Structures are given as C-alpha cells and as structure tokens.
Amino acid sequence: MTMPHRVLLAAFPARIRRRHGAELITTLAEMTDGRPSRTDRLRLVADGVRERFRLPARRPLDVLTMAAAVLVGGAIGLAAGSLAGEQTYPSMPATAPLAAHILGPQAQPDRLHRDRFHLEITHNLGAAATSSALEQQVHDIHDRLAATGWDVTAVERYRSLDQWSFSARSHGLRVSVTGYADPHRPIEVLGYPVRPATYLPLVLGGLLVGLLTGWLVGAAMADRLAASRHRVPAVVVGAVGVAILAVPTGRLYQGLLLLLRMDNGAGFDAPIHDALAWMPWPLRDPATFPDTIVPGLQTLLIGLAITALAAVTAHRPRSHGHPVPVELPPGGQAGLPNAHPST
C-alpha cells in the first residue's frame, strides 16, 4: 500500500483500517478506473471521519466511556482556551504615574504594588483627617478622573460606615477607589485589567474543540474496550482515572458557570483555568480561588496518565476476530459508490 493510500486511510479508525483498508483502496481504484479524482478522495476521507465519530455499539459501557471522555475533553479545552485568552489581557500601567494622576501630584502614597493582573495604591491622609475631609478627598478624586475622560460611577457611602467608594474605567483598566475612616488605611485604589472581547470566544472555542476531541477519544476507547481481551482490568484502571479527573473537570466547568453568571464586562474576574487550584470543594467559597493552579494541574495530569494506562491495558493484538462493517449512506455515494466492504 502506497503512502498516499495510507494518508487517505488515516481518516478511518484503526478497526476499519485493519480489516478493510486494502479493500477500501481496491474498491476505490476499481470504481474510478485507477484515477480517483479529488472529490472521490475527499469523500473517502469524509467517510473515515464519520466513522471516527460513530460509536461501535450502544452499550452502557460505551455510553459511559463517551460521556466521560467528552466531559474531560471539554474541561481541558476550557483550560486551554482560558490560558490563551489570558494572554490577551492588557498589562497594568506603572503605579507611580497612575498614583499621581488619581491622587494628585502632591500626594505621597504609602504603598505602590503592581503585578500582571492587579495593582494597589494606598494613601494615608494622617490621623488628624476627619470623615468630612476623607469624603471630600474621595469626591476630588472622582471629579479629577471624570474631568480627564474616565468613565466613573457615582460616589456611594456604605450603610452607616464612614466609607465612600466609586469605580472608574479607562481603556483597559478599571479601578475602585475607596476611602475608609481608618487612620491606617484611609484611601485605597485597586486596579484590574478589563477583560478583552477576545477572552470569551477563545474560551468557548477551546470548549468546542475539547468536546469534539473528547468524542473522538471516547469512541476510540469504547471500540478498544469492546474488542479487548483484558476488558475488566482496563475498565477498573479507567474508572480510577476518571474518578481522579472528576475533581479538576468539575472545577473547570464551575469556573465557566461563575464567569457566565458574574460576567458584566467590567473587569478582571478569576480566569477559568484558575479553578484548577485545589479547593476542598464544596467547603470553600467557589467564587474564591487560591493563587496557584499547580495542585489541580497535577491532579489532571495524573488522571490523564491513569486513563492512558487503561487504553494500554485494553490493547489487543492485530487479529481479525469479528469484522466491523463500514456504514455508507444510502446509495453509497460518499467515498465508495455502491460498494461495501465484505464481511
């Protein structure tokens, strides 16, 4: 079999290639006088792709295998899309010029801190500052930002506390300004990047690719288990892998729900892949994620490795056994006209 023929047959799952590969190529050559057109080759590839998406049988084990693979694949796609989308977030500006712009050129902030997705500016007015002076300072900052083109909200006082706050947005930055009646922390400015419009499409695109990939992997795994001589050990190992994958998979879908539920386009919420950080779920508030994704990522990789071990355990030798027919549309017009592999 030539290399072009092997490339064409690569679209089919292994069970078809082993049992009917040569027959498919022979039939294609006979029906096209040995000169298959590009359309004929594309039809053959399309049939192979369709076979990859088809379950070998509708048995409970196959359905469970498919469901687990699709869910895990979608979760991995979510994480990959979120990581890609995070790279499109704008960087935080330098804190010193921003502090002078927000607090005024004469202010001397007590704390300036910035990282990739967060900045903090603290300004102490002094122990002698009164509540009225603090309120006036917050209103002055509000007016200064509004006059320079920032999109600002109204200054609000929270309940009976001597605390005033508003938020402002300019291009890729959103800040919240809060004045506390506290001599140790009277004015606090927290900044976050505004979520770019590219983030959610990348997340949903990753989800779609992950679901499709999970379907392909699940169909291949279901077929392998159905014909395996070591089905019981493979199922046991696979069940252990799926059980380990359940936690990070659930976290990632939980992160997607939180994003969709809380998304107001205003600023930086926890990216979906941050849900991989380990949490004693559901004992911890799901809206708060730890700083590192390493524990969840390790759990995900361990679960995938054990699941791959299940696929190796289910390996079968290249024997013929019971043939699996290739299903073609009525009339046989896709790929091989009026031809079915013999069984």
| Residue the block writes with tokens 């999109």 | 151
Same domain, 202 and 306: yes
Look at residue 71 and tell me whether its pLDDT is greater than 70: yes
Q: Which of 126-130, 146-150, 193-197 has the highest mean pLDDT?
A: 146-150
Same domain, 5 and 129: no
Same domain, 51 and 62: no
Can you give the residue range of the structural domain that contains 343?
1-56+324-343
Write down the pLDDT at residue 279: 57
**Is-contact 22 39, C-beta < 8 A?**
no
Which residues, 6+ apart, have CB-to-CB distance to 163 below 8 Å? 157, 178, 179, 180, 181
Tally of domains within the chain: 3
Look at residue 49 and tell me whether its pLDDT is greater than 50: yes
Least confident range from 157-161, 178-182, 295-299, 317-321: namely 317-321
What is the three-class DSSP state of 115?
A: strand
For β-strands 111-115 and 173-180, DSSP reports them as unpaired
Average pLDDT over residues 47-75: 83
Write down the pLDDT at residue 143: 92
What tokens were used for 119? 């900045």
Confidence of residue 294 (pLDDT cuts 50, 70, 90): confident
Same domain, 52 and 181: no
Look at residue 111 and tell me whether its pLDDT is greater than 80: yes
Same domain, 83 and 201: yes
Q: What is the pLDDT of residues 316-335, one digit of tens each?
A: 544 444 444 444 444 443 34
Identify the CA nearest to 23 among candidates 11, 9, 36: 9
Q: What is the pLDDT of residues 248-263, one digit of tens each?
A: 999 899 888 888 876 5
**Is-contact 22 332, C-beta < 8 A?**
no
Write down the pLDDT at residue 267: 47
Cα 17 to Cα 13: distance, rounded to the nearest angstrom: 6
Average pLDDT over residues 185-199: 86
105: number of Cβ within 10 Å: 7
Give the percent of the chain with pLDDT over 90. Answer: 24
Same domain, 114 and 248: no
Same domain, 202 and 314: yes
The 8-class DSSP code of residue 314 comes to T
Report the half-sphere exposure of 29 (CA within 13 A, side-chain side). Answer: 12
| Residue the block writes with tokens 């402002």 | 168
The 8-class DSSP code of residue 118 comes to E
Which DSSP string do the residues of 154-214 spell out, in sequence order? Answer: PPEE-TTSSEEEEEEEETTEEEEEEEES-TT-SEEEEEEEPPPTTHHHHHHHHHHHHHHHH
Same domain, 271 and 282: yes
Same domain, 79 and 111: no
Write down the pLDDT at residue 327: 44
What is the three-class DSSP state of 313?
A: helix
Average pLDDT over residues 65-70: 91
Confidence of residue 289 (pLDDT cuts 50, 70, 90): low
Same domain, 267 and 227: yes
Same domain, 255 and 300: yes
Q: What is the pLDDT of residues 143-165, one digit of tens each?
A: 999 999 999 999 888 766 678 89
Q: Please state whether 9 falls in left (phi above 0), alpha (psi between -120 and 50) or beta.
A: alpha
Average pLDDT over residues 111-132: 81
Look at residue 207 and tell me whether its pLDDT is greater than 80: yes
pTM above 0.85, yes or no: no
Cα 279 to Cα 275: distance, rounded to the nearest angstrom: 9
